[in-house]
Every structure is written in structure tokens, then in C-alpha cells.
Amino acid sequence: MGIIIFNGVSSKEFDIQVEHPPGYEYPQKDYDVTHIPGRNGDVYVDKGSYQNVTRSYDIAIGSEKRNFAEMANCISEWLNSASGYARLEDNYEAEYYRLATYASGGTITNILEHAGRVTVSFNCKPQRFLKSGDNRILITKTCKLRNPTNFKSLPIIKVYGSDEGILRIGDYVITLSKIDSYVVVDSELQDIYKDAINCNSTATLSNGFPKLIKGENEISFSGGITKVEVIPKWWTL
């Protein structure tokens, strides 16, 4: 039986069965197309990003404990429980999760007041995130961290130490001053902070916020930095 987990809640709680596996949704690239008069062919400019995808599930519901109206209400509340993106998982791609919103309505077919069928569709960011990429990796000395995908990831890095220190990740160099116990370097948010305190003014970044490229990424640190903790956020399409 197929299982959907959306916003931390499993479809099993609502007596939902996914009737067959969903298709594989691959995203469209963002690019500009320009035609230059007198030149054969169009010019494509790749923006290096991707558009959202739709992931759909054909589901059936049925319960001897609840009538159709009660089941339909529970499903509606579940699907609309998140404001903005929430985590979407299923057992068809058990190693991955997506960030998704449920933005479309629908009609649940009533089958004899105790069952129903409907297709639910989620609007998803283009990435499929590896669950392993959410694991915290503790680094206490120079090492190499291997990105298992073909795509540059945007890590969350917690830097421990005091006073001043330099963190190197591949070609990225981050000079931190006034480290007070720890500071977080968040490449996705492009922000440096400690709890609710903005620490961007205490850092100098060469080449911008770090990305973990395909293959090996050497990580080292010096000065007042004692260790770093990396959540790599691996992803693929």
C-alpha cells in the first residue's frame, strides 16, 4: 500500500490508500530565448535554475468508523494544514523528500457514504532532497566531504569557537570575527546568525556563500574555530 507523508502527517491516519505509484516528474529549465536577425537558430541563455513540478496521487479512502463527510473533512484539513511549503514524502521514493504546497481543490467521489476516490496534486519545488543530506556531519579536522549528486548543494554550517577564525570550503573562504560560542552560516538563506541575532557584519566571504560541488569538497579551519557541523542538503532532480 502506498503511503504519503505531508507536513509530518501520514495518509495512514485517514484510511487512505494510494491506488498506484505516481509518475516521475522532472522539471523544466529556466532559460531565455532570443532570436538575432540574420543569425540561424535561437540563442538560449541558461539561468541555472528550474521550475516547479506537480506530483499527483490517485487515492482511495474507506472506513467503517467514519462516514464519507467526516473522512472528506479530515483529508481537506490535512491537505490544507500548511501555509507555504511543507515536507512531502512517500514510500515510492523512500530516500528522498520534496518541499511542496497543496494549492488546488478537487472533488472526492462519494462511494456509498463510506468510501471515496480523488486525485490530489502537490506543487513541488524542483529538487528531490536526499534524506541523508539532512544528517549533521561533525568535522574536527581537515577532511573531504563528498557530494554524491551532480548538483551544487547549499549547506547549513554551524561554526564553533571564539574570537576570530577562517573557514575554507573548496574555493570558498569565510573569515569570521567575534565568534561567541558558535555562529551559523546558512547558504540557502544567504544569512549568518546566532539564534535570532544577525551576524552578517562579523563575516567576510570570498566567492559568496559556500556551495558543495559534485565530488569531493575539502573543508578546513583555523584560528579560533574548534569544529564545524555541516548539514549538506544534498539534492537531485
Q: What is the pLDDT of residue 45?
A: 86
Please indicate whether residue 136 or residue 108 has the higher confidence score (pLDDT).
Answer: 136
Residue 28: exposure state from Cβ atoms within 10 A (0-12, 13-18, ≥19): exposed
pLDDT digit string, tens, across residues 159-207: 999 999 999 999 999 999 999 999 999 999 999 999 999 999 999 999 9
Query: pLDDT confidence of 107, banded at 50, 70, 90?
Result: confident
Please indicate whether residue 112 or residue 43 has the higher confidence score (pLDDT).
Answer: 43
Q: What is the pLDDT of residue 190?
A: 97
How far is Cα 148 from Cα 142, in angstroms, rounded to an integer?
19
Report whether pLDDT(109) > 80. no
How far is Cα 199 from Cα 193, in angstroms, rounded to an integer?
5
Phi, psi of 74 (to 5 degrees): -60, -45
Task: Average the pLDDT over 6-31 and give the result.
Answer: 90
Task: Average the pLDDT over 38-61 and give the result.
Answer: 89
Beta bridge partners of 206: 173
Predicted structure pTM score: 0.89
How far is Cα 184 from Cα 176, in angstroms, rounded to an integer?
11
Report whether pLDDT(41) > 80. yes
Phi, psi of 206 (to 5 degrees): -95, 130
Report whether pLDDT(114) > 90. no
Residue positions counted in the chain: 237
Report whether pLDDT(31) > 90. no
Provide the sign of the torsion angle of the four alpha carbons 116, 122, 128, 134, taken in this order: negative
pLDDT digit string, tens, across residues 211-227: 999 999 999 999 999 99
Residue 42: exposure state from Cβ atoms within 10 A (0-12, 13-18, ≥19): exposed
Q: What is the pLDDT of residue 26?
A: 85
Task: Average the pLDDT over 46-60 and give the result.
Answer: 91
CB 224 within 8 A of CB 202: no
Report whether pLDDT(104) > 80. no
Task: Average the pLDDT over 137-141 and give the result.
Answer: 97
